[in-house]
Amino acid sequence: MIDATAPSPPVRASRRRTHLDHLLVFAIIIALWSLATWHFGTYWVSSPWAVAIRFVETVASGELLRHAGYTLSEAALGTLIGGVPAVLLPLLLRRHPVVVAILDPFMVGGYGAPKLAFAPLFIVWFGIGMESKVALVVTVVFFIVYFATLNGVRALDARLVQTAQILGASERHVARSIVLPAAIPSIFAGFRIAVPYGIAAAVIAELISANRGLGYLVQNGAMNFDTTGVFVAVLMATLLVQAAISIMNAMEKRLLRWRPPSEPWLETGT
């Protein structure tokens, strides 16, 4: 039997090619990094080797993963609390453009404000625990996803809505079966930008004041002149972002099966 999901030979070849290119770029980065270490000394720039060893050690001891898990839960919780209303609001307000117009300047303001600057304030309000970090992630994620979803809802083809209404769809059916699926690509585009920002926001809030999390590790490493510790924490945060993006890619692929595939040469190897 023919496996229809298996990539065709040229695609497979181009994927292998992409993996090779990834390796090459990785090697260049490590080389430049080693050069910097050699030039400035390990006191200022920790060596790739030392970072790798420390990374493995702290993963093995469970310490790194514990801190990463803490940061991850803040980011995930904040993404959920900020993201869900950011998706629902434009869907619910589709029939009330006046309300959208009234909210608009405030949303634009919220979108444009440097939310990371609120971190100290949130720590004053919500304490040094998880709440202040989650609050910061919420403010970062909410506005990005809100505008992405709003764009998707606005780009909706009115004829599809009319067709559904002719076929007997109520307002609720239209929202669920037309507006939401039509907006899914935009919603994903929003989360794709918002989630890395959200993780960064959690780390930065921890930097300012926390006793747990990757931001705390960065802060702690810097205070003890332990650049290796700083690098390991940043590396872990980067991996978290990568994992989040992979999960979103997989979800998107599943949810957007109905879309014609993009140009093959634009497809990434992953």
Partner 1 sequence: MSPLLEIKKLGKRFPARHGREPSPWVLQDLSFSVAEGEFLTIVGPSGAGKSTLLNIIAQTDTASAGEILLGGASVTTRDPRALKPGIERRIGYVTQDDNLLPWRSTIDNVLFALEVQGKLDDASRARAEKLIQAVGLAGFETYYPHELSGGMRKRTALIRTLVYDPPIILMDEPFAAVDAQTRTQLQADLLRLWEMGRKTIVFVTHDITEAIALGDRALVLSKQPSRIAAEHTIPIPRPRNVKDIFALPGFAATYEKIRADVQ
Nearest to 256 by CA among 196, 183, 194: 183
Query: SS3 sequence, 58-116?
Result: HHHHCHHHHHHHHHHHHHHHHHHHHHHHHHHHHHHHHHCHHHHHHHHHHHHHHHHCCHH
Q: Does 170 bind partner 1 (CB under 8 A)?
A: yes
Shortest approach of partner 1 to residue 176 CB, angstroms?
10
- Should residue 257 be labelled a site residue for partner 1 when binding is judged by CB under 8 A? yes
Per rule CB under 8 A, is residue 159 in the interface with partner 1?
yes
258 interacts with partner 1 by CB under 8 A: yes
**Number of residues located near partner 1, criterion CB under 8 A:** 21
The span of 41-49, 60-68, 180-188, 218-226 binding partner 1 (CB under 8 A) equals 180-188
Stretches 7-15, 66-74, 131-139, 256-264: which one binds partner 1 (CB under 8 A)? Answer: 256-264
Q: Which stretch in 74-82, 109-117, 181-189, 235-243 sits in contact with partner 1 by CB under 8 A?
A: 181-189
Which CB sits closer to partner 1, 112 or 262?
262
Distance CA 135, CA 122 (A): 7
Q: Taking the complex as a whole, how short is the minimal distance between the CB of residue 89 and partner 1, in angstroms?
A: 22
Residue 87 exposure: Cα atoms within 13 Å on the Cβ side: 21
Which one among 87, 123, 178, 207 touches partner 1, defined by CB under 8 A? Answer: 178
Q: Which two tokens stand for residue 233?
A: 């924490």
Q: Which residues of 48-80 are buried (b: 16+ CB within 10 A; e: fewer)?
A: beebeebbeebeeeeebeebbebbbebbbbbbe
Under the binding rule (CB under 8 A), the answer on residue 260 touching partner 1 is: yes
Asked if 100 interacts with partner 1 (CB under 8 A), we say no
Chain Cα centroid distance, residue 47: 28
- Residues at the contact surface with partner 1, assessed by CB under 8 A: 159-160, 162-170, 173, 177-178, 181-182, 184, 257-260
